[in-house]
Structure formats: structure tokens, C-alpha cells
Structure 1
Amino acid sequence: MELLGTTLTSTYARPRPTPTNFLPAISTMASSYKNRFPHYTLSHSLTLPWRPSTYYKVASATPTLAPLTKSAPGLNPAQILSFPANRTALFTRYTPDDWHKSNLNNYRESESSRRSAERLRVDTSRLIQEKDQKTRKIQTDTSKDLGERVNDIAFWKSEINHEIDQMIGETNALSEVKRRLERALAETEGPLQVAQECLYHREKRMSIDLVHDDVEKQLLQEVDSIKSCQERMRRHLEKVSAQLASNRAAQHELERDISDKQAAYRIDDKCQNLRNTSDGIGYYRGVERVDATISIPETWAKFSDDNILRSQSERVASAKLREDVESLLNATSNEMWNQFNLVNVAFTNRISDSADAKNKLQSHLAKTLQEIFQTEMTIEATRKPQGTNGPNEGGQTRLDERTRRPNVELLPRYRTITPGAGGP
């Protein structure tokens, strides 16, 4: 412990030269105020801020100063030394030049640090402004792109909705044609059954009436015509069913596309109206990792365009098939009606011929019956006994009397001889 009244031995350290381009930390954290001389353990004075801790070392024990009076106990005058007595302490202090140079060095370092900090602050401000302007420009461009994207999505939505409406109308029309075709196919069973029953009943004709006449030919042709019409209707019915499946598949693709478009429209419209002050914004990890191989604007537009083209192609095929079915219905209807009329004409002619033959046969039958009746009456008349034998007796008497004629007058029979005529 040093004696009171003597100057404390000063402990100092010579700091390392600091480069002129040294930039101090601009952070306000406590870590930025660390000791610039880490190889010395220098204490800091917290109670006396005016006392620099760079050049002085605080004593390990602080002496208690007492008044220099006689009444002061514990103070030995022998221990009080005069100031010039400790001359060795004079050679351990700095000179005024060193002190001024140290201050100037500190001033220059402070000024250099301030200039560097100012440049850094200006550069940082300029960078912040540039980035802010660039960010605002990017946000503006992004909002513009989102607006264009929303318009594109709205355009394709309208196109797809229009095509869906057209496809729904075409599908309904084709379904109605299918129902008509099925009903027409079912209605052909009646005429076919009638024609077959006619052929079956005509097989009951007997004898010479079991003839392969024009009616039978027309009935067979009607059966073949109805079966041919039914076969064509079934083929077209299969085509209609396949076309309906194709229409529904194209409509399903359009509906799935419009569903995706609606979701994308809702999201992009929300993103377009989103601002930096909007609620719900935040940081999301990994959002910048977008798979660019999924879709690009060209393939995106081509996808919807292909769906629309496919739907239009299916609609054209469906319309053509509807026309074919309408033509088939008209053709089969006309064909069956014509054949039905031919069969009726053949039946009418055959019935007329049969009625004429029947009438003639009935007439001949009546005449034959009349003749039979008259013959029977004659037979009965010949079999009826006579009331007298006068004619028989008279004839025999005449013969007997003529046998008595004389000579040449006995002729075998009586004949009138004309004068001048030859012969016996």
C-alpha cells in the first residue's frame, strides 16, 4: 500500500496505430463498445467519467482521506512525505507534447471515423432509396402484370363459359335426338310383329289358296325393310351414345379448366389488390422456388385453346350426327310407310281378286245346285209311276194292226216319201 501524500504510480499502455480506413460499427448494441485494446486489461471508471481509464489504472484499494489535524487519530506525521521526495514518479509521466499529440490523434481518428460513418450512412441511405424505388417499381410492374393476368384469365373464363353453354345445349339436343331414336326403334316392333303375324296367319291357307302371291312377297319385303331400319337405328344409336360420351368428356375438361381459372382468378385478383399495409402479409419460406416446368404463358393459353377446339370439334361432330339421325328417321319412316302402303295395296288387290273369285264360285255353285236340283227332279219324275197304260196299249195296238198290211205295204217303219226324191 502506497503512502498518503505521494503520487500514484501511473500505468499506461501505448495504443496500436489505427488504420485510416477504419469504420466503426454503427450498431447500437453493447457489443460495439468493446475495448479497442484487448491485449491489456484496463479497468473503466464508472463513477468518475472525467477520468480516462486508458492512461491510468485505478488503485486496488482506495485510501480514506482524513483531515490533517492533531485530533485526527491514526495519522503519523512521519509517514507524510513531501511531494518532491518521490522524484522517480516525474520520469514516468507523459510530456505535454505527447498529450497534445494523443489528443490530435484522437481527434483525427474521430474525424476519420465520422467521415467514414457519414459516407457509409449516405451510401446506405442512397442504397435504401434505390432499393425502395426499385422495389416500388417492381411492385408496380407486378401489379400491372397481375392486372393483365387477371384480364387474360377473365377472357379465357368467358370463352370457356361460352363454350360450356354451347356444349350443354348441343348435348341436350343430342340427348333429345337419342330419345327420339330410341322411341322410334321401339315403335318399329309393332309393325314388325304385325307383318310377322300376317305371314304366320297366311300359312293357315289351305290347298290351292296357299299360294306365294304378291301379298306374301310384300310382307316378306316389309319384314326385311323393318329389320334393316332397326339395324341402322341401332348403329346410329351406338354412335349417338359414343358421341354423348365424347361431349361429356370435353365438357368435363372445360369445367375442370374453368374451375382452375376461377381459383386462379380469385387468387390473382386478391394479389393484385394486396398492399404493403394489408392484413395477413408476412414472410413465407421457400415461396421463391417455383417450378417453371409446369406451365408457361404459351402452354397455359394453348391448354385452354386446345380444350375449346376439342369441344368445338365434338360439337361439329355432334351436330352432323344429329342431322344424320334426323335424315335416318325421315328415311326409315318413309321407307316403312311406303312398304306399308305397298302391302296394303297388295292386300286390297288380293282381297278384291279373292272376293271376285268367291263371287264367281258362288254363282257357279248356285247354278250347279239348280242344275242338280232339276236333275234330281227329273230323276224323281222318271221314277214316278203312271196312272193308266193307254199310251203303251195304243202303241202296241197300232203295231199289231200294221202287221196286217198286205204285200209290199208291209214296211218296217213309217216314212213319208217325197215325189221325185231318190232313195228307198
Structure 2
Amino acid sequence: MELLGSTMTATYARPKTSSFLPAISTMASSYKDHQPTLALTLNSSQPWRTNTYYRTLGVMPTLASIRRAASDLVRAQTAHYPTNQTALSTRYSPEDWHKSNQSKYRESEASRNSAERLRWDTVRLIQDKEQLTRRTQETSSRNLSERISDIAFWRSELNHEIESMVTETAALNESKRRLERALAETEGPLQVARECLYHREKRMSIDLVHDNVEKDLLKEVEVIRSCQERMRRHLDRAIAQLASNRAIQHDLEKDVSDKVTAHRIDSRCHQLRNTSDGIGFYRGIDRLDPSLSLPDSWSNFTDNNILRSLSERASSHKLRDEIEILLNSTSADMWSQFNTVNVAFTKRISETVDAKNNMQTHLAKTLQEIFQTETLIEALKKAIREKESPLKVAQTRLEERTRRPNVELCRDNPHHRLVSEVREIEDTVAQLRERLQVAEGTLQSLVKTKAALEHDLSIKANSLFLDQEKCMGMRKTFPSSPRLLGYT
């Protein structure tokens, strides 16, 4: 376009920039990436327009703002030109105006279509996601319900196995108590047999005969000890088996406790709804995996516990049968040997009557020799005491002569003689003491012989009492068969 009329210098007033700003509520989609036709006509490539005024705006102006700007521009021009010189050509043609309107219509329609598509797509998305969320939640609830059923099943299996294990443990514990009572009952017969052997060991010399009574007593001790050893082995096995039973029972109870806790937690989770209290956000919890097992390993863990319990119960039942067989066999063995020893005692008692008269003479002679030996010991002690004074005199002389001053401290003949005298007396005392030790040893030997003879005489005098009264009297307290079986 060209200016018509006078070529007076035109003065342009810059419009307020605020009139070019769009309304705050205008959406970005209504003007984004759209270049109106007016922008092509208002560029700085036209040499008669200043670049400082006609610049490309960062925000797209509206048609109303353009009209206001054009109106202000006309008023500014007419304020400086005479009325006869204001006939300027319009800046836009009708075609531009219609194109601008059509562009705005198309933009408006495109924006509405886009907003409508967005609205319907969003509604569809919300509905789809709502259904997906509901289905997912229902699936999770169904999985929790199945999990609760699985936990309840395994918990019932564990409870049944725990009851069976408790019953088996109680039965094994009763067998163990019977075995302990039977083992305690064997101490009496063993003590009696040892008492008999102990009393018979007091015999000396020819009385230490390895007779049938001693053989049978030793065999009885061996039989009782063998029975005790077998009982102790089975008792140790029973204790170990009880420990194993309690250990597997503890594992089962711990497994049940864990499943009770898991059942309570999963039941609480299964009962949670979108309107429940206590629900909240836990950011990042879906990325945390604190699990220690998988479904297969979880079920295998409980299954293995039950299988271990079945195995331990089978071992416990087998051990109880073995304990019952052991109690019967040990009771029969001890009773059989007990009767054999009693028969041997009866035979030996008749052989001990003729063995105690020949020791009196030997005892009298021994007492006479003891008296003479004691007299000798007293004489030796007196002789040793008599050597103390000469030894003190000689040692005192030597000690006094050590105080001689200077050169007078001479190793002279008196010194040598005093040293020789001390050594002679010490040798004499040593010989006397050695002889005293020999005499005391002889006296001790005589005393031991006397004690042995007296002991032998007492044994022979009391043999009938020991074998017939004391030993056989103690053996009358042999426990009965029910006590050896551990019933009482």
C-alpha cells in the first residue's frame, strides 16, 4: 500500500502493549502454533514502516486489539494532519479481513474439535481405568482369599501333626520315665553284689579264694552293668529323641504361629476396602520386595516340616518298642543270675566253718615280735637323742672359733678335729636313723601282719555272719519284676 496526498512526515503513536495481551483465561491451544494473516502484512520488510513499532509479537494479538490499534493510529495521524490530508489508504483489503475471519473460525472449530476429542477420550480413559482398577482389585482380593484358604489348610495340617507329636512325645516320655525307674532299681542289686564282693575282698592269704560265689558275684555285677549300659544307651537315645521331637514340635508351632500371623494380616488385607480406615500412601512400597520365599518353597517348607515330624514320630514309636523289649530282657537276665548267686552262696557257707583256728598261734607270735621291735625302736631313739649334745658342743666350738680376728682365724688341727667330730656324729646319727626307719618299717610290717591276721580271724569268725546273715539278708531285698520293668 502507498500513501496518497501530501508527503508530510507522518507521526505515529505507539499503542499500549497491554492491549495486545490475550485474556488470562484464554487456553494455549487457542493460539498456539497459529500465524494469522495480519502478521504477514505487519512485518518490517515494508520500508515505509519503522522496525521499532511494527515488530513480531511473542503473543498473538486478537482481532479486537488490532482494531483498537488501528483506531488509535488513525486518531494519532489525524491529530497531526489537516482533514484534507488524512485520506490514507486502508491497511487491509476486505479479502484480508475475510481471510482473517475464516482463519479464526477454523481455529475455533479445530480447538473445539480437539477439546471435544480430548474430553471424550478422557472420559473413556477414566472409565477404562476405573474398570481396570476394579478388576485388578478384585483379582487381588481373590488371590488374597485363595492365599487365606491355603494358609488355613496348612495350619490345620500342622495342628493335626502337632497333636500327634504331643501324644507321641508324652508316650515316649512315659517310656523314658519307666526306663529311668528300672535303671534306678538296678542300683540296689548292683550295690548288694558290690557289698558282697567288698566284704569278701577283706579275706587275706588263703581266704582269697576265687570260688564260685566270687565268680557268680562278678558275673552278676557284669550282668547288671551290662543291663545298665544298655538302659543308659536307650535312655540317651530317648533323651535325644525327645529333644528331636520337641525341636520339630517347636518348628511346627513356630510355623503355625507364623501362619496365624500371616492369616490375620492377609484377612485384614482382604477386608480392606476403598472406604476403610487406616489406608494411606506408602511411596515406593511396590519397589520393595521383602519376600523370603516363593509359593513352591513356601508350601515345601511346611510339607518338609510335616514329613520330618512323621519321620521323628516313626523313630519315636520304634524306640518305645525297643525300650519295652529291653526292659523285659534285662529283668529276666538279672533274676536268673540272682538265683545262681544265691545257690553258690549256700554252698560256700558250709565250707567256711573249719578255717579260723590255726591263726591264733601266729597272731600270738606276731604280737611278741611287735613288742620286741617296739623296744628296739625306743632304744634307737634314745641313742639318737644322746648324740645331740656332743653334736651341739662340736658345732658350737666351730661357730665360736669363726670369731677369731684376722690372722688368728687359722685352719689348725683343732679345727680339723672339730670338723671330723661333727661329721662322725652326723654319720652316726644318720646310721641310727636309717636303722630306726628299718625298725619302724619292720614294725609296720608286723603291725600289718597282725592286722591281716586279726582281719582274717575276724573274717573267718564272721564268715558265717557275712555270708549267711548279712549277704543273704541283703539279697532278700532284690527288686521284684514289676519294679525292674519300671511300673512302680
TM-score, with length taken from structure 2: 0.55
Candidates 319, 323, 332, aligned match of 1:334: 332
> Who is 1:40 aligned against?
57
State the 1:177 CA deviation: 2.6
Structure 2 residue aligned with 1:133: 131
Q: Distance in 2 between matches of 1:91 and 1:107?
A: 24
Q: Which runs of 5+ in 2 are unaligned?
A: 1-11, 16-23, 36-55, 355-488
In structure 1, give the amino acid aligned to 2:90: F
By relative contact order (CA 8 Å, sep 6+), the higher-ranking structure is 2
Taking the aligned partners of 2:336 and 2:104, their CA distance within structure 1 comes to 124
Q: For residues 269-293 of structure 1, what are the alpha-carbon distances to aligned partners after superposition, in whole Å with 9 as ceiling and x for unaligned?
A: 1111111222222332222235498
Task: Mark the CA change 1:317 to 1:216 in structure 2 (over 3 Å): closer, same or farther.
Answer: same
Computed over aligned residues only, the root mean square deviation of the Cα atoms, in angstroms, reads 3.9
Which amino acid is the alignment partner of residue 261 of structure 1?
K
CA distance in 2, matches of 1:42, 1:135: 42
Contact 2:220 2:338 in 1 (8 A): yes
Is 120-129 or 310-319 further displaced after alignment?
A: 120-129
1:44 and 1:113, CA in 2 relative to 1: closer, same or farther beyond 3 A?
closer
Structure 1, gaps ≥5 residues long: 1-7, 12-27, 46-50, 64-77, 359-424
Task: Mark the CA change 1:200 to 1:56 in structure 2 (over 3 Å): closer, same or farther.
Answer: same
**Per-residue CA distance 1:10-31 (angstroms, 9 max, x = gap):** 98xxxxxxxxxxxxxxxx9888
SS of 2:336's partner is helix
Shift of 1:81: 5.3
Change (3 A) 1:176 1:262: same
Matched with 1:257 is 255
Q: CA deviation at 1:348?
A: 5.1
Partner in structure 1 of residue 308 of structure 2 = 310
Please tell me the residue identity of whatever aligns with 2:226: S
Match of 2:64 in 1: 52
**Does the 8 Å CA contact 2:172/2:316 hold for their aligned counterparts?**
yes
Q: Residues 263, 43 of structure 1: CA spacing in aligned structure 2 closer, same or farther, 3 A cutoff? A: same
Q: How far is 1:228 from its partner?
A: 0.5
Instruction: Return the alpha-carbon distance in structure 1 between the equivalents of residues 27 and 96 of structure 2.
Output: 30
- Once the two structures are superposed, what CA deviation does each residue of 1:294-323 show, in whole Å capped at 9, x if it has no partner? 422111111110011111111111121122
C-alpha contact (below 8 Å) 1:222/1:339 kept by paired residues: yes
Structure having the higher Rg: 1
- Per the TM alignment, residue 119 of structure 1 is displaced from its structure 2 partner at its CA by 1.8
Q: Which residue of 2 aligns with 1:189?
A: 187
TM-score in terms of structure 1 length: 0.63
Q: Which residue of 2 aligns with 1:91?
A: 90
CA contact (8 A) 2:30 2:107 kept: no
Mapped to 2, the partners of 1:101 and 1:179 lie a distance apart of: 112
For the residue of structure 2 that corresponds to 1:277, the secondary structure is coil
Question: Structure 2 counterpart of 1:91, which letter?
Answer: T
Greater per-residue helix proportion: 2
Q: Which whole-Å deviations, capped at 9, do the CAs of 1:192-232 have from their partners, x for residues lacking one?
A: 01112223334567999876555444322211110101111
- 1:403-414 equivalences in 2 (<5 Å): none
Question: Residues 207 and 293 of structure 1: is their aligned pair in 2 closer, same or farther, counting only changes over 3 Å?
Answer: closer
Which whole-Å CA distance do the structure 2 matches of 1:218 and 1:276 have between them? Answer: 89
Alpha-carbon shift at residue 98 of structure 1 (Å): 2.8
- Paired residues, number: 312
Question: In 2, distance between residues paired with 1:35 and 1:104?
Answer: 15
Q: Deviations over 1:18-51 (max 9, x none)?
A: xxxxxxxxxx988848964795056989xxxxx8
- For 1:120, give the aligned amino acid: L
Q: Which moved further from structure 2: 142-151 or 268-277?
A: 268-277
